[in-house]
Structure 1
Amino acid sequence: MIEIIRRGIYTSIQDAGRFNYQNIGVPISGPMDQQAFGIANQILNNAYNTAVLECSFMGPKIKFHKNTYISIAGAEMNTELNGEKIKSYTPYKVNEGDILSMGTSQYGCRTYLSISGGIKTEKVLGSRSQFKGITSEGNITKKVLIPIGKSDFIPKVGVSLKPINIDYENEILEVYPGPEFKILDNTQKKILLENIHHISSLNNRMAFRLEEKLICKLPEIWTSPVIPGTIQCTPDGSLIIIMRDGQVTGGYPRIFQLNKRSINLLSQKTTRSPIRFKLLSKV
C-alpha cells in the first residue's frame, strides 16, 4: 500500500486508457503526456499499461507501507525522498515508512510517478484510469490508502539511462488539416498558422480553450466523432482543443488535428503559454 498524506492540486490514477467504449460516449482518458507516462513505466520494466499517479501543478506527499522501487518522469517538481532531492528518469528504492514529497511544477506541469508492479485499484470498463462518472472519483480528493502490486524488479548494476531532454517550452504544435479545414478561407488559414496563440485559463483534462478567437462565421456541422487532439472552432470563433477526458462527438467544425507528439507537449503547458500551429500536410 501507499498512503496519500497530501493529495496535491490535481492527482489522479491513470493507465493507458479506456478503449472500445467510445461508441457509448465514454472518453478514452489515460495519461495526458503519454511519452512521460511510458518512460516512467519503462524505467521499472513495468508493462506500458501499468497504472501510475499523474500529478498536476503540485504533487502529493506519500507514505510507503512496503518496500518497492519508484521512478518519476515529466515535469520537474523538486521531488524529495525522506528530505533528499531525487532525480527524474532514475529508479529509486523506497522502504516501508519512507516519505515522498513532490513540490510545485517548475518546468512543464505534469509529472508521472510509477511504482514497481503498478497501482492496483479496481478496473472499470477495462481500465484503472479515473474519470468522474465512470469511477467513483475523477481524481484523488482525500487522504487514502492505495494498493500497489508486487514486482521482482531490481536495477542492474552499472546500467544508467541516457539523460532525456524534452523542450516543454517549445511553442510549435504540429497539426494535420481537420475534416472541415477546407471551409476556412485563406485569410483565416493565414491567421491560424502565422499568429501566436495563448492557452486560456479554461484548460483541464477535458479540453484546452485558447484566448484568441478566429473572426469567422463557420456553420455548425452534424454531430461527428472527435478524438484527443481535435481542434474545433465554435460559432463565436473560439478554438477548443479536445484532450484525454474530452467528449467523443462534437458539432463544431474540426479544423485541425494534433499529432501524438504535440498532444504530449500541449499537456505540459498551462494558462498563458504561447503556442503556434505548424501544418504538416496541405489539402
Structure 2
Amino acid sequence: MIEVIDAGFYSSIQDQGRVGYRHLGVPISGAMDQKAFDLAHQLLGKTSDFSCIECTLIGPILRFHEPCSLVLTGAHMQAWVNESPIQNNISIAILPGDVLKLRRATKGLRTYIKINQAIISPVVLGSTSFYKPLTQDAVLKKGNHIFWIKSEKVINKSNARIRWDDSYLLSNDLAVEKGPEFNTLSIAARQQIFQKDFLINSQNRMGYRISSPFSMDAVPMLSGAVRPGTVQITPSGTLLIAGVDGQVSGGYPRIFQLTEEGLNVLVQKKEGDTISFKSLDTLPQKEL
C-alpha cells in the first residue's frame, strides 16, 4: 500500500487510456507522454496492469507500507528515497517504510511513477485513468491510500538500468502533418508557420493554448473530429492543440496533426516555453 503524504502539484493515476468511446464524447485520457509511459513498462517488464502515477511539475511524497520495485520515467524531477537521490530509468527496490519524494521538474514537465504491482483503482469504461467527472477524482489528494493486488512477483534487489535517449525532453520541434483545413491559411502564413517559434500561453491535460501572429477571417465550417495532437487556429490566431483529456470535436480549422513523437515532445513543455512546427516532408528520417 502507498500512502500519499503530499500529492504534489497535479498527480493522477493514468493507464493506456479509454479506447473506443470518442463517438460518445468521451476523451481517451491516459498518459500524456506515451513514450515515457511505455518505457516504464519496459523497465519493469510487461504486466497485465498498465496503471502509473503521472506527476506534473512538482511530484508527490509517498510512503510505502509494503515492498515493491519502482521506476521513474519522463521528466527529470528532484527525487529521493529516504533522502538518498535517485535517477530516472533505474529500477529501485523499495522496502516497507521507505519514502519516495519528488519535487520540482528540472527537465521536462511530466514524470511517471510505475511500480511492479497491479494498482487497484476503479475501472470506468475499461480504464483506470482519472478524468473528472467520469471518475470521482481528477487528482490524488493528501491522505489517499493506493492499494495493489498481492502477488508472488520477485522484487528486484539490484538497480537495473538501460540506455535511453531523453533528448526529446529538451527539443522544441514538433513533427506535424498538414491538417484537412491547412489551406485556409494565407499563402504567406503557410510558409511562415514553419519558420517561426511560438510561445506557450497555458497548458493542462485538456490541451495547449499557443500565441501566433496569424489572424484570419472566420471560416464557416461544421464541427470536425479532433484527437490528441490536433492543432486548430482561431480567427484571432491562437493555436489550440488538443490533449488527451480534450474535446473530441472542434469548430476551428484543423491546420496540423502532431505525430506521436511530436505530441510526446509537446506534453513535456510548460507555460513560457517555445515550440516550432516541422513538416514531416522536411524532417530527416531519424527525427520522425
Fold in common (TM above 0.5) = yes
Letter in 1 for 2:99: I
Alignment of 1:1-283 (within 5 A): 1-47=1-47, 50-151=50-151, 152-155=153-156, 160-200=161-201, 202-281=202-281
Contact 1:199–1:272 (8 Å) recurs in 2: yes
Q: Tell me by how many angstroms 1:156 deviates.
A: 8.5
Q: Deviations over 1:136-184 (max 9, x none)?
A: 1111133200112344144497964124332322111010000101222
Aligned residues: 281
Q: Tell me by how many angstroms 1:218 deviates.
A: 3.9
Percent identity, aligned pairs only? 37
Cα distance between partner residues in 1 of 2:265 and 2:150: 32
Q: Where do 4+ consecutive residues of structure 1 move more than 6 Å?
A: none
Contact 2:183–2:190 (8 Å) recurs in 1: no
Contact 1:206–1:242 (8 Å) recurs in 2: yes
Q: Tell me by how many angstroms 1:220 deviates.
A: 3.8
Contact 2:3–2:146 (8 Å) recurs in 1: yes
Contact 2:92–2:158 (8 Å) recurs in 1: no
Cα distance between partner residues in 2 of 1:153 and 1:221: 57
Contact 1:203–1:271 (8 Å) recurs in 2: yes
Q: Tell me by how many angstroms 1:212 deviates.
A: 2.5
Cα distance between partner residues in 2 of 1:118 and 1:262: 30
Q: Tell me by how many angstroms 1:52 deviates.
A: 0.5
Letter in 2 for 1:197: F
Q: Deviations over 1:57-91 (max 9, x none)?
A: 00000011111110000111111001101111011
Cα distance between partner residues in 2 of 1:2 and 1:103: 18
TM, length-normalised to structure 1 = 0.94
The RMSD of aligned alpha carbons is 1.8
Letter in 2 for 1:72: L
Letter in 2 for 1:113: I
Contact 1:217–1:237 (8 Å) recurs in 2: no
Q: Secondary structure at the match of 1:190?
A: helix
Cα distance between partner residues in 2 of 1:270 and 1:160: 28
Q: Tell me by how many angstroms 1:209 deviates.
A: 0.4
